[in-house]
Amino acid sequence: MTDAGSGDVRVAPPVLTSFVRDVLVSYDVPESDDGVTADALVAADVYGIDSHGVARLGFYMHKLGQDLVNPRAEPRISVDSGAVFVVDADNGLGPVGAQFAMGECIRRAEAGVAACASVGHSNHYGIAGYWALQAVAHGMIGVSLTNATALVAPTFGRSTMLGTNPIAVAVPTGDENPFLFDAATSAVSFGKLQLAATDGVDMPEGWALDSAGNPTTDPGQGMLGALVPLGGTRELGSHKGYGLAVLVDIFSALLSGAAWGPNCLSLTSEFNEVANVGHFFAAIRVDAFRPLDGFEAEMRDMTSGLRAAPTAPGESEVRVAGDPEWVCAAEREANGIPLSESLLANLRGLGASRGVDCPF
């Protein structure tokens, strides 16, 4: 543990992972499952997506403590069509069902060409990109989708009908970091509204609507209203984000029998009901299309070509999907994950409530 110099404290990822594992074990989560859940949460912090990292531990603990999540879930394949299958996650921790499904997709793709799974009866699974990346080590393209708590209004609507419903695709590039696209289908995350409200600042127009359906720059009013789809307004293409969010629900929920849209809980009911979240995963062998080494070489040519593109005035570089995450991961793996004073206090309190010593 080191002082980050800005009020934050740096904690090494393995130390943070070990702490999360110990907390989960206190809820009777078996060691085989607490490991993947802790890894998935800490990975979000490593990649700089802090809203989905250890800041979520209290939420996981609440769901376990209220028997809203099965700590000893046993995911099973409920429909098996070979390269296409459905997983019942047994209302377990989201990373447990996700690991079962993605691992099986990779195994079946290795034996064939490609495989995909729709998962139901699950819960929050961390960042979508964590699961898509698992396919890359096997020379495959990985796909990961999930629906989520309804926070987003459809274009021309004002009620929360869809989740932020992220889409992630990871592509191998050989000896360079993989191409990793991981993005929500909403304009921003709910956490950005919470942060603006905490800091007492206005948010940009195009992030959220108030409860009457009007655009607002007041984060408090936005939290009482709804987020908007990617694009913000119809004129700026919000119908595209809206359509993508619906597609995520179709693949994640309708194919698996999970809850879709508003049936996947509102923010107020998320803490008190079983969620029935749905996911979708796919693993696709590149060498089913062409030799892997040639494909990876062209991927490197493409990404380097994009990075070399002329920059707009005032900009220093062009990036490709995944670049910010890889830069952040390298820095945090070397120097530790920065935890704010408030998050540190929260984690220490959570540990103490379960009799788990906090090493930071």
303 Cβ partners below 8 Å, 6+ apart?
173, 176, 179, 320
- The Cα 54–Cα 43 span in angstroms is 9
Residue 279 above 60 pLDDT? yes
Is residue 310 pLDDT above 90, yes or no?
yes
Average pLDDT in the 106-117 region? 98
Average pLDDT over residues 308-334: 97
CA distances from 97 to 103, 114, 150, 265 (A): 10, 19, 21, 19
Per-residue pLDDT tens for 178-209? 999 999 999 998 888 987 887 889 999 899 99
pLDDT value of position 5:
54
Q: What is the pLDDT of residue 6?
A: 61
Q: What is the predicted pLDDT for the residue at 334?
A: 98
Tokens for 320, please give them: 């490709």
In whole angstroms, give the CA distance from residue 146 to residue 280: 6
The predicted pLDDT at position 254 comes to 98
Task: Assess whether pLDDT exceeds 80 at residue 173.
Answer: yes
Residues of CATH 3.30.1370.60 domain(s) within the chain? 73-187+231-308
Which pLDDT score is estimated for 51? 86
Residue 190: what pLDDT? 87
Across the range 305-331, mean pLDDT stands at 97
Q: Does CATH number 3.30.60.50 belong to domain 188-227?
A: yes
Tell me the C-alpha distance between 252 and 258, whole Å.
Answer: 7
Give, rounded to a whole angstrom, the gap between the first and last alpha carbons of the chain: 6
Alpha-carbon distance of 166 to 156, in angstroms, equals 21
**pLDDT cut 90: percent of the chain above it:** 91
Average pLDDT (67-76) is 98
Q: Element (H or E) spanning 144, and its range?
A: strand 140-146
Mean pLDDT of the 143-152 span? 96
Average pLDDT over residues 232-257: 96
**And the tokens for 218?**
């007041």
Q: Helix (H, G, I), strand (E, B), or coil: what is residue 343?
A: helix
CATH architecture label of 1-72+335-360: Orthogonal Bundle (1.10)
Distance CA 52, CA 29 (A): 20
In the beta sheet, which residues pair with residue 51?
A: none
Third-level CATH fold of 73-187+231-308: Ribosomal Protein S8; Chain: A, domain 1 (3.30.1370)
Burial of 202 (0-12, 13-18, 19+ CB in 10 A): exposed
**Cα-trace Rg, the chain:** 20
Name the phi and psi angles at 291, rounded to 5.
-55, 135
Mean pLDDT for 234-249 is 96
Q: What is the pLDDT of residues 119-147, one digit of tens each?
A: 999 999 999 999 999 999 999 999 999 99
CATH 3.30.60.50 range(s) for the chain read 188-227
Query: Do 205 and 117 touch, CB atoms closer than 8 A?
Result: no
Task: Quote the pLDDT of residue 7.
Answer: 62
Residues of the chain within CATH 1.10.1530.10 domain(s) are: 1-72+335-360
Query: Mean pLDDT score of the chain, rounded to an integer?
Result: 95
Q: Output 342 or 180, whichever has higher pLDDT.
A: 180
Is the pLDDT assigned to residue 4 strictly greater than 60?
Answer: no
Q: Is a pLDDT exceeding 90 seen at residue 29?
A: yes
The per-residue pLDDT for range 257-269, each reduced to its tens digit, is: 999 999 998 767 7
Specify the pLDDT at position 36. Answer: 97
- pLDDT confidence tier of residue 148, bands split at 50, 70 and 90: very high
Statement: residue 27 has pLDDT above 80: yes
Can you tell me the distance from the alpha carbon of 212 to that of 187, in angstroms, rounded to the nearest whole number?
A: 19
Query: 205-214, long-range: CB within 8 Å, 24+ apart, which pairs?
Result: 205/232, 206/232, 206/233, 206/236, 207/232, 209/153, 209/158, 211/158, 212/158, 213/153, 213/157, 213/158
Instruction: Give pLDDT, residue 116.
Output: 98
Across-strand partners of 339?
9
